[in-house]
Structure 1
Amino acid sequence: MKVDPSLMLSNQNRGPETNSDLDKDAFLKILMTQLTNQDPLDPMKDQDFVAQMASFSQLEQMTNMSSEFSRFFNGQLSQNFLQFSHLIGKEVTYRAVVDDKVQELQATVKSVKRQGEDILLTLQNDEVIKAEQVYEIESSMNENEVL
């Protein structure tokens, strides 16, 4: 007897891939389905219901906290970017690796930009450095003349 290859499990459609992460809406749907389909002669105990609602509440609070933290973090990045803008026109001393040696160099900051989480400074010599490489800031000669 010959077996039809289309009947083999390896050839069956496994269905759509599903996301294994449960969000608060999925959790609430599961809870409502459980309540709707429970046995009326053996209903869910109060403690079980309260425990599930507490889990739902914790999930919602963690979701809210995560989104608030993201907003705070993005705000801090913007604030840092604006704080570094005062360096434009100032002479900075920074450390850079030149010929496999760490050297202290000086240059005037031409512009500041944000790239991801990094603040980058473009210098008059067209070199681009990270703001954390700077360890000394001096006012330029033009600023001294104005004062």
Structure 2
Amino acid sequence: MKIDQNLYLANQTASQTKQSDLGKDEFLKLLMAQLKHQDPLDPMDDKQFISQMATFSQLEQSINMSETMKTLANQQSQSNFLAYSNLINKEITYAVYDSTGEYTGQETGRVQSVSFAGNDVVLKLTNEDRIAASQVMEITQSANEVIADGE
């Protein structure tokens, strides 16, 4: 009798995707299944149970910490963006770099608008140049801008 080669395991494609990380929901399901199916005459050791609960608590805390850090980073980006919006209509001196990243000098210009490009703040100048906020070297008040003296 001949065996069809399509039935060999080596010729089968893996249809399952491997997920290496256990989330808090999967961990809790495993723990509950373990408690549900334990031998009533030989229950789980209380130290082992406490250890597993502590592990679950640490997992949940690290997930919450990660989410909090993402929120904080997003708020910091928004704060930086709003801070740079104060540069609109200001004269700035900025560093100029060539295509290889070599410093070639400095130029001045007036900020027309502020925008995001990825996670970076980009300043658009009235001469249509776009520069990274990190290139700003000096900020000056233009001669035609009136300063309120509080009177």
Please, what TM-score do these two structures have when normalized by structure 2?
0.89
Say whether residues 1:135 and 2:119 are aligned partners.
no
Identity of aligned residues (%): 47
Give structure 2 stretches of 5+ with no counterpart.
none
Per-residue CA deviation, residues 7-27 of structure 1 (Å, 9 max, x unaligned), is: 201233534214222110000
Structure 1 residues 36 and 98 mapped into 2: Cα distance closer, same or farther (>3 Å)? closer
Structure 1 position 135, deviation (Å):
1.3
Structure 1 position 43, deviation (Å):
1.2
* Structure 2 Cα separation of the partners of residues 50 and 20 of structure 1: 24
Secondary structure (helix, strand or coil) at the match of 1:104 reads strand
Say whether residues 1:70 and 2:70 are aligned partners.
yes
Aligned twin of 1:11: 11
User: What amino acid sits opposite 1:32 in the alignment?
Assistant: M
Say whether residues 1:105 and 2:107 are aligned partners.
yes
Structure 1 residues 80 and 8 mapped into 2: Cα distance closer, same or farther (>3 Å)? same
**Greater Cα shift, 38-47 or 99-108:** 99-108
Aligned twin of 1:94: 94
Structure 1 segments of 4+ aligned residues over 3 angstroms from their partners: 12-15, 98-101, 144-147
Aligned twin of 1:81: 81
* Structure 2 Cα separation of the partners of residues 45 and 132 of structure 1: 58
* Structure 1 Cα separation of the partners of residues 147 and 4 of structure 2: 92
Structure 1 residues 89 and 20 mapped into 2: Cα distance closer, same or farther (>3 Å)? same
CA RMSD of aligned residues (A): 1.9
User: What amino acid sits opposite 2:40 in the alignment?
Assistant: P
More helix by share: 1
Aligned twin of 1:48: 48
Q: In the comparison of the two structures, how many residue pairs are matched?
A: 147
Give structure 1 stretches of 5+ with no counterpart.
none
Per-residue CA deviation, residues 37-75 of structure 1 (Å, 9 max, x unaligned), is: 112222110000000000000000011111111111101
Secondary structure (helix, strand or coil) at the match of 2:22 reads coil
